[in-house]
């Protein structure tokens, strides 16, 4: 890193690993990567986070935006991916107040 203010970037190996894990979890969908500016920067948890969505062959998305830190890419699992996608795409209200 150039300095303490520099944002960590994901390596090619980390991106390849994360893409493979996501594809293992959802082989029927394509992984679409994005970043801070691609999915509405003000919604990103931090400036340097990455995000992905799942898209079918017809171009229809089947997940909300899932944010992930570059430092966490090499430790994601199929179970984590499925949990995050399920959590982000549920049609159920998240709390009783929102129902």
Every domain of the chain and the residues it spans: 12-86
Q: In the chain, what's the furthest Cα-to-Cα distance?
A: 48
Average pLDDT, whole number, for the chain? 80
Residue 94 has pLDDT above 80, yes or no: no
What is the structure's pLDDT at 1? 45
pTM listed for this prediction? 0.75
Model confidence at 95, pLDDT cuts 50, 70, 90, reads low
Positive or negative: CA dihedral 28, 12, 35, 67: positive
Residue 99 has pLDDT above 80, yes or no: no
Q: Which of the pair, 27 or 87, is modelled with greater confidence?
A: 27
Comparing C-alpha atoms, which of 78, 62, 63 is closest to residue 24?
Answer: 78
């Amino acid at each position: 890193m150039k300095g303490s203010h520099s944002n960590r970037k994901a390596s090619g190996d980390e991106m390849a690993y994360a893409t493979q894990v996501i594809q293992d979890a959802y082989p029927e969908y394509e992984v679409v990567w994005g970043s801070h500016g691609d999915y509405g920067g003000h919604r990103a948890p931090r400036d340097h986070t990455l995000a992905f969505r799942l898209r079918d062959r017809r171009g229809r998305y089947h997940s909300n935006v899932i944010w992930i830190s570059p430092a966490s890419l090499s430790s994601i699992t199929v179970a984590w991916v499925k949990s995050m996608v399920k959590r982000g795409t549920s049609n159920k209200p998240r709390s009783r107040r929102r129902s």
